């Protein structure tokens, strides 16, 4: 059963929306894009960043919204870039990350994604997932963001080149948690 709800994915990133739309559609939930730039506070907490973004998104849309925030945490760099992943990607990119790891053998990392939902009150719901992996030795072609350098555990290729990223990505897992909660909430409220 398709849930028809006025639910907006708020982001300036078309790639994130396309991925979220595909995943949620497969789970029976439809979303629309509200494209805008959101306030991104500087914080060591992805949860705090996501919560503030969700509140900002709701203030702009005035309808139920979800936002997604994520971070790449590299063990040998003490979790860098972590919550600063977007800024780091925009400034030094994958080449910069590869330069930082040039002489480092330990390349373990994790990707964390948080989906934040807000429907107008200050009680933002957060749905977090992570996936373990490592940073590749070279930048692969394809994908977007850090996809060309992150190899999830159990795979030999980066996110950019795996056969079905949606099956095991950090974003997919967080969207599934959100979808399960949202559908259950909709049923409970009789919508």
For residue 183, what is the domain's CATH number? 3.90.950.10
**Residue 1 in domain:** no
Catalytic residue among 56, 69, 70, 147: 69
- In the chain, the number of structural domains is 1
**Residue 64 in domain:** yes
HEC assignment per residue over 15-79: HHHHHHHHHHHHCCECCEEEECCCCCCCCCCHHHHHHHHHHHHHHHHCCCEEEEEEEEEEHHHCC
**Residue 61 in domain:** yes
Range of the domain at 169: 8-188
**Residue 149 in domain:** yes
pLDDT digits (tens, 9 = 90+) for 42-100: 899 999 999 999 999 999 999 999 999 999 999 999 999 999 999 999 999 999 999 99
**Residue 2 in domain:** no
**Residue 3 in domain:** no
Reported pTM? 0.90
Residue 69 designated active-site: yes
- pLDDT-derived band at 189 (thresholds 50, 70, 90) equals low
- pLDDT-derived band at 163 (thresholds 50, 70, 90) equals confident
């Amino acid at each position: 059963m398709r849930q028809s709800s006025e639910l907006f994915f708020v982001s300036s990133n078309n790639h994130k929306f396309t991925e979220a739309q595909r995943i949620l559609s497969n789970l029976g939930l439809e979303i629309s894009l509200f494209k805008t730039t959101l306030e991104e506070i500087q914080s060591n907490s992805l949860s705090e960043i996501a919560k503030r973004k969700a509140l900002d998104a709701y203030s702009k849309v005035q309808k139920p919204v979800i936002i997604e925030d994520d971070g790449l945490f590299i063990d040998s760099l003490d979790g860098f870039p972590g919550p600063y992943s977007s800024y780091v990607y925009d400034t030094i990119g994958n080449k910069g990350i590869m330069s930082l790891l040039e002489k480092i053998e330990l390349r373990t990392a994790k990707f964390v994604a948080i989906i934040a939902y807000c429907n107008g009150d200050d009680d933002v719901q957060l749905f977090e997932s992570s996936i373990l992996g490592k940073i590749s030795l070279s930048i692969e072609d394809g994908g977007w963001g850090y996809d060309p350098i992150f190899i999830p555990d159990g795979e030999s290729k980066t996110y950019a080149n795996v056969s079905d990223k949606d099956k095991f990505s950090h974003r997919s897992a967080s969207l599934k948690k959100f979808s399960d909660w949202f559908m259950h909430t909709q049923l409970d409220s009789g919508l």
